[in-house]
Structure 1
């Protein structure tokens, strides 16, 4: 029985699930299902699609039915003779109407189509933005973890240095100044670790909100140690600018917003235009009025109805002017959005083109700073340098490592943001990006 129990325990331990790794692509799949911002975008798009039907409805036939059934009590006086009447009346009217000439309905049709296109482009923007937000939170959590590890390594180095300072001070070879300098650097490293822990906590919470499940930092795939940076194609900013103007979904949605505003002006102007419609009605009444008391009518009518607005207190003119101002506002907003988008595009283009050089420079800086720490420590033992020189060299090393981590994560984020601002971000870019992360265990 004892052997069997051990065997069962062993099987349970082997079969126990390990921490579930969450790669970038896995996180994106979860985000598509769980991110509330993206789910809101889905509903926004579905609502926008209904604008096509709403806009088209004004040009299609409309059918309505009106019915009333009343009990009436009246007193009729004729030649000084009064007579009470207590009777029921009813009226039933079925009306079919087909617009023949209605410029307002036509403008509403075009406006509805523009509103649907606006919703489509907004959804495309939100879809691409989801990948950017996901990578930003994912990368920020990993970067915070690297800073935590660097701060802890820095603390260990300073702690060892502090022990050495204490031994030298006790042996009469060191100074109290050296001890205080090292203690100050150790305290700063502790503060940096606390700050990095706070940043990581916020980043993980952001990522959890996007993917819809709790996460631990150990579940995320870290960056590979060495990754190849592919040359940027196309390599001219002018080409990327043309792509952004043609494909950026935010700019496209602003263009449709401008069209919506244009058709709103036309819709308001239509308040001065006549409307012509064809109608057919069937009306059945009984005692519908005092003059038709105890009379029943069954009337069918077909005809043309013309409506010509003459004066509405100036509301039509004021509404038209208001819509024209809103059109000018939409044009300025499009210009502002275009300028800000191209500025961000240029920023991400520069980060991509300089990314390889920056990462290479920081890698060389780390190598040089590592060698400098070793050389400075030897010089201190030879009496050529002092404790502060060692502390400065170690601080330079950890700063270089931190800057290298920042540059690596910033490059990947710039790579995906460049595609986002150009309006070209798709699944293939995410798959290529996932290759820069090392799958967990």
Structure 2
């Protein structure tokens, strides 16, 4: 829908408070690109996701044989006192290799791998939620600068108009048309207007600092969005869509699955473990020609008999975690549609306020022009003119705030639907592929071409 009933472009005001540089026009999309590219919160949670990816690699590694080496160099010496004193010294060295492969563990390692994969999917969904938070904060920072800038312009204009009213009152007082009371009322109103102007300047400074924190730079001239995003017209349909697509729902569902796998892992810990073990070694004595080379191979089976109740406690704990995550899923399934309904209500309120405020601005403008004309004829007092001017100012300020609230509410609706992402908004940013790192580490590479690819990715991310 068409936007901006007052202004289509916001002039850069109070630029002295900003960093020195040319003023550039900036759209909401460009601000969101800045927020996406400079967000430390996104970088932090991408690192969290990469750490979760490594859990998969470690679970894969647990299914493979473990090969280790050991070495030892020993010098032994002794003195024996008896009928004759005997001294002995020996120097020996040993080198060995050992290998262990788990043949059966009750499914523990396989279950751990499946649980790690579910945790990765949950962490990916959490990253999308964080991205939505960053995007919504970017929208709010942009629109709050718009709100503060327009409010400041109104306050500046208000000071100018009241200053003119004060001069007119003083002139009329000189010729005896008004009393000293009229002049004092105009002086008081001008002092109030200047105080409110100072407050508006402070509000703009605060909004600019928030913009810097979110977008990574001070705002230039902000071009207000001329249209709002397309939203589902039916709230119930929007709620159903949110339940299907919102990342919080996906995260909670994967957490429940991971917790159920955790119960199976706790039960598998009660089962026996069968391992194939082998060793090969060399023992060398440096004091003579003795040398021994040999090895062993065998099967080893072990299992718990009594653990002091630890295994039972682990299973109960896993069941409690499962119940916790199920309750969390239920809670999220209630919060997500509630947030959709709340966002739509806020959007309806903002639109109703725009309609009412537009009519209020029109009527207050007519009233102000009429009262000011009547005052020149002596039918109205200076105070009447000042009151009418204040009503017009309040109406314009309310309209500005309602338009800003409408934009924020519309993008909040997108966030409640799970659609406030760089991809959905089609922002011109380098897309972060959460599967790229996972695909390289899921097979637990050691030294290979995959290892070189991992180094390339980590260097691109600014890591060593």
Instruction: State which of 244, 247, 250 in structure 2 corresponds to 1:249.
Output: 247
Cα 1:259–1:50 change in 2 (3 A) is: same
2: CA distance, partners of 1:24 / 1:428: 15
> Counterpart of 2:103?
100
**Aligned pairs for 1:418-429 within 5 A:** 418-427=413-422
2: CA distance, partners of 1:428 / 1:305: 53
Whether contact under 8 Å (1:115, 1:257) holds in the other structure is yes
**Aligned pairs for 1:255-270 within 5 A:** 255-270=253-268
The answer as to 2:340 corresponding to 1:371 is: no
**Aligned pairs for 1:37-52 within 5 A:** 37-52=41-56
The structure with higher relative contact order (CA 8 Å, sep 6+) is 2
2: CA distance, partners of 1:313 / 1:109: 28
1: CA distance, partners of 2:210 / 2:409: 19
Cα 1:295–1:379 change in 2 (3 A) is: same
The answer as to 2:386 corresponding to 1:391 is: yes
Instruction: State which of 72, 87, 96 in structure 1 corresponds to 2:90.
Output: 87
Q: Which has the higher helix share?
A: 1
Cα 1:354–1:284 change in 2 (3 A) is: same
1: CA distance, partners of 2:108 / 2:188: 75
**Aligned pairs for 1:32-431 within 5 A:** 32-74=36-78, 84-102=87-105, 103-213=107-217, 215=218, 217=219, 219-223=220-224, 227=226, 233-286=231-284, 296-427=291-422, 430=425
1:3-35 C-alpha deviation (Å, 9 max, x unpaired): xxxxxxxxxxxxxx9533333333333333322
Question: Is 112-121 or 87-96 further displaced after alignment?
Answer: 87-96
- CA apart distance, 1:422: 0.7
Cα 1:184–1:48 change in 2 (3 A) is: farther
Cα 1:370–1:381 change in 2 (3 A) is: same
1: CA distance, partners of 2:111 / 2:239: 33
- CA apart distance, 1:363: 1.5
2: CA distance, partners of 1:264 / 1:238: 36
Question: Is 22-31 or 127-136 further displaced after alignment?
Answer: 22-31
Whether contact under 8 Å (1:52, 1:113) holds in the other structure is yes
- CA apart distance, 1:368: 1.1
- CA apart distance, 1:149: 0.4
2: CA distance, partners of 1:206 / 1:326: 39
- CA apart distance, 1:370: 0.6
Flag structure 2 segments of 5+ consecutive residues without an equivalent: 1-20, 428-464
> Counterpart of 2:438?
none
Q: TM-score when scaled to structure 1?
A: 0.81
Aligned positions, number: 404
2: CA distance, partners of 1:180 / 1:265: 79
Whether contact under 8 Å (1:58, 1:108) holds in the other structure is no
SS at match of 1:234: coil
Q: TM-score when scaled to structure 2?
A: 0.77
Whether contact under 8 Å (1:65, 1:92) holds in the other structure is yes
1:384-438 C-alpha deviation (Å, 9 max, x unpaired): 5433332222222111111111111111122222112111234576469xxxxxx
SS at match of 2:269: helix
